[in-house]
Amino acid sequence: MKFDFKHKVALITGGASGIGLAVVSNYIDAGGQVVVADLNQQRLAELTEKYGTDTFLGVPTDVSNEAQVNHAVEAGVQKFGHLDNAFLVAGANKLGPLLDQSMADYDFVLNIDLRGVVMFIKAFGRQIRTQATPGTIVNIASINALVPEPLGSAYSIAKAGVQMATQSASLELAPFNIRTNAILPGLVNTPLTESMRENPEINAEMMKNIPFKRGADPSEIAQVALFLSDDASSYVNGASIVVDAGATSATYPDLSQLFK
């Protein structure tokens, strides 16, 4: 699908890799400029080189640090004059059994995956309120907001929280002309899932539950994110769009043998 984001500026967290990077490249292809807040300074430098400073601003940011979150928004406004679309993509995971995982690991996941999103909603939302122009926010949650990941309780709890943060923001930010929506991706082929996908047994088990028998290309998530930021979705607010090839519907074993 062709979108037009000319004269628009996006704030993208986690834009140095995976889904966030696909959002960066799709948004720039559609004519927009981007402010990318990410921990990975080396990748930010490489992407600045690739896209040029008229189009790309990398702001080294830990999304779990409120001062750095606020600084990323300020730096973007200082550079481009305004912001229009936020894509809150940065995320991380630490697996561990619910009964034994340390609270330090819980805090690590919740601070990045949930608090980081809430702090960016606040910083970006306040900026749009000041500008008095329309804005959009797309949060990348996960199907784990609906279906818990085994040994991933911290991640699943955080992602369920992102879904509710999206709904809360959809009410409170609507008066400022901001639409807030979430995407709940299934398996996406990014570095985050590499260790699972490269394990043949785990990969085979995952494929059983994915009707398309493949993980998504990051661009297949980015295209939905751009749709939710475009006027084509002007009445969509507070929605959670599941993008998982039907995986969350695949709870049954294969019953076709009953008909043989």
Ligand X SMILES: NC(=O)c1ccc[n+]([C@@H]2O[C@H](COP(=O)([O-])OP(=O)(O)OC[C@H]3O[C@@H](n4cnc5c(N)ncnc54)[C@H](O)[C@@H]3O)[C@@H](O)[C@H]2O)c1
> CA separation (Å) from 46 to 16, 40, 49, 127, 200?
9, 10, 5, 28, 33
Q: Which stretch binds ligand X (CB under 6 A): 27-35, 48-56, 95-103, 190-198?
A: 190-198
CA gap 133, 98 in Å, rounded: 44
CB of 178 or CB of 243, closer to ligand X: 243
Q: 106 CB contacts (<8 Å, ≥6 apart)? A: 154
Q: Which stretch binds ligand X (CB under 6 A): 14-22, 120-128, 173-181, 201-209?
A: 14-22
CB of 31 or CB of 211, closer to ligand X: 211
CA gap 111, 221 in Å, rounded: 23
CB of 8 or CB of 159, closer to ligand X: 159
Q: Where are the alpha helices (DSSP H) in the chain?
A: 18-29, 41-51, 66-80, 103-110, 116-131, 153-172, 194-197, 200-208, 218-229
64 binds ligand X (CB under 6 A): yes
240 binds ligand X (CB under 6 A): no
CB 42 within 8 A of CB 20: no
CB 151 within 8 A of CB 105: no
Question: ∠ CA 105-138-61 to the nearest 5 degrees?
Answer: 50
191 binds ligand X (CB under 6 A): yes
73-112 mask for ligand X (x: CB under 6 A)? ----------------xxxx-------------------x
Q: How far is the CB of 229 from ligand X (least distance, A)?
A: 16
The three-class DSSP label of residue 134 is coil
Q: How far is the CB of 153 from ligand X (least distance, A)?
A: 14
20 binds ligand X (CB under 6 A): yes
155 carries an active-site annotation: yes
Which of the residues are catalytic?
A: 155
Q: Which residues bind ligand X (CB under 6 A)?
A: 14, 16-20, 38-40, 61-64, 89-92, 112, 140, 142, 185, 187-188, 190-193
